[in-house]
Amino acid sequence: MEVIRLSCNTFAKEFRVSTSRRFEIVSIMHLAEEALKESGIKNGILHAFLPHATAALITNEYEPRVARDYLKWVRTYVPPEADWEHNMIDNNAHAHIASALIGSSRTYPVINGRIVRGAWQELMLLELDGPRNRRVIIQIIGC
């Protein structure tokens, strides 16, 4: 098998996203697009990471009704008012649990200078314990 060696790069950029409510959805696809453009990388992968334990990242449709439904799902299946032990500390167990289950990162292919995604796949930050100032790290690895 032939070994192919490419000279590749990494690029990382940190963004700040402020939320204004306890539960909130913020579309951040434009931040990923901005980082990709700035990176100059044409082919590789783009990784979005949220260094927080009480928020999450999802990729799906950013339409107002379904956006409210994502949060409705969280409130239904991880109700904030349930008898969580962690609530004795800072009253946000639901946010920790939902963040752990949903996840803190998303990865996309980058092909020919574009982030590959479906028509209804938008990168979104799910605020589960706001309002807060959140950091979002976009890292791109490629050529």
Residues binding Zn ion (CB under 5 A): 90, 92
Q: How long, in residues, is the chain?
A: 143
3-state secondary structure of 34: helix
Q: How far is the CB of 117 from Zn ion (least distance, A)?
A: 32
**On the CB side of 81, how many CA atoms lie within 13 Å of its CA?**
1
The sign of the torsion formed by the CA atoms of 115, 120, 124, 126 equals negative
Q: How far is the CB of 72 from Zn ion (least distance, A)?
A: 22
The smaller minimum CB distance to Zn ion, of residues 67 and 128, is found at 128
Strand partners, 55: 127
Q: How far is the CB of 1 from Zn ion (least distance, A)?
A: 50
Radius of gyration of the chain (CA): 17
The smaller minimum CB distance to Zn ion, of residues 15 and 84, is found at 84
The smaller minimum CB distance to Zn ion, of residues 99 and 139, is found at 99
The smaller minimum CB distance to Zn ion, of residues 2 and 81, is found at 81
Q: How far is the CB of 96 from Zn ion (least distance, A)?
A: 5
3-state secondary structure of 49: strand
Torsion of CA 135, 64, 35, 113, to 10 degrees: 150
